[in-house]
Amino acid sequence: MSNPVPTHRWLVATLRVALILALVGAGWLIYHRMPPADAPQHGLGVAGQTRDTLLRIVVLSPPGGGDVRNSAAATTPVQLYSIDVAAAQREFLDERRPGQRFEDFIVRRMGARQPIRTQLDESGQTIVYVPPGRWWIHATQGGAQEVIWRLPVNVAGREQTVELTAANAYMRTKRF
């Protein structure tokens, strides 16, 4: 009859080595699936995570014609809010809240989702990482004709493009 002790020791040693290799392999897989350290961070999530959507906002053709690459396009601020700011402002004004500022009210209403702020570049576009869900884009482009956008957007998927055009502008005013 053979001695079971050496077989048992060999099996335990093999299982120990397999466990160590499995732990190292799992750590390696997690490390290599992480986003790069130099990836830009916007909003709530880290850029490139699967829960965030790469949102490209583009001004296609400015109202009133002309080239989008003017000085006004380069200074166009864009904000994304997780709530309808206009509706929140109406609610704030309808119900008096002594001692509370509108900025504090809106921050409380948004909860954990803070506004995302960006700016259009010279070519009239910007790229931000946004968590999926319903967002409102607020943008104001100055110049001879001021254009304001308040656009609701359902953000989903890995990548999405939103076009700001004369047709979806909220308000256009001429400056004299």
Give yes or no for residue 23 having a pLDDT over 90: yes
pTM of the model: 0.60
Q: What is the CATH number of the domain that holds 57?
A: 2.60.40.1120
Same domain? 2 vs 67: no
Mean residue pLDDT across the chain:
78
The 10s digit of each residue's pLDDT in 102-117 is 888 888 888 878 888 8
Q: Has residue 101 been placed in a domain?
A: no
Taking the chain, what is the end-to-end CA distance rounded to the nearest angstrom?
106
Domain-embedded: residue 98 = no
Q: 8 with 69, same domain?
A: no
| Interval 54-72: pLDDT, tens | 889 888 765 455 444 444 5
Range of the domain at 139: 53-83+114-174
Handedness of CA 104, 106, 108, 110 (dihedral sign): negative
State whether 70 and 127 are in the same domain: yes
Our CA dihedral for 56, 41, 117, 84, rounded to 10 degrees, sits at 80
Residue 102 lies inside a defined structural domain of this protein: no
